[in-house]
């Protein structure tokens, strides 16, 4: 699979979700104190992302 989400623990002990495509990080979330926070962020992206509007500036 060319794309995936990865949850990593930061050096500060927090968790961050990364979206990777072909091993390149495309975007990442804010840091969360619990792994569940990072997982919830991924779930929100999967739920809301496909219907999010596109704005051009």
Q: What is the CATH number of the domain that holds 42?
A: 3.30.160.160
Asked if residues 30 and 44 have their Cβ atoms less than 8 Å apart, the reply is no
How many domains, in total, are found in the chain?
1
The pLDDT tens digits of the residues spanning 44-55 come to 999 999 899 999
What pLDDT sits at residue 1? 67
Q: The whole model's pTM is what? A: 0.85
Whether 7 contacts 14, CB under 8 Å: no
Residue 24 within any structural domain of the chain:
yes
Domain that holds residue 31: 3-51
- What's phi and psi for 34, nearest 5 deg? -125, 150
Q: What is the pLDDT of residues 24-41, one digit of tens each?
A: 999 999 999 999 999 999
Contact (Cβ atoms closer than 8 angstroms) between residue 15 and residue 8: yes
What would the mean pLDDT of 10-37 be, rounded to a whole number? 96
Contacts of 30 (CB under 8 A, 6+ apart): 16, 41
56 found inside a domain: no
Look at residue 29 and tell me if it is in a domain.
Answer: yes
């Amino acid at each position: 699979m060319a794309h995936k989400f990865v949850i990593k623990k930061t050096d500060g002990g927090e968790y961050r979700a990364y979206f990777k495509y072909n091993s390149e990080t495309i975007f990442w979330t804010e840091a969360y104190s619990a792994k569940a926070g990072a997982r919830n962020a991924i779930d929100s992206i999967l739920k809301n992302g496909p219907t999010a509007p596109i704005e051009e500036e």
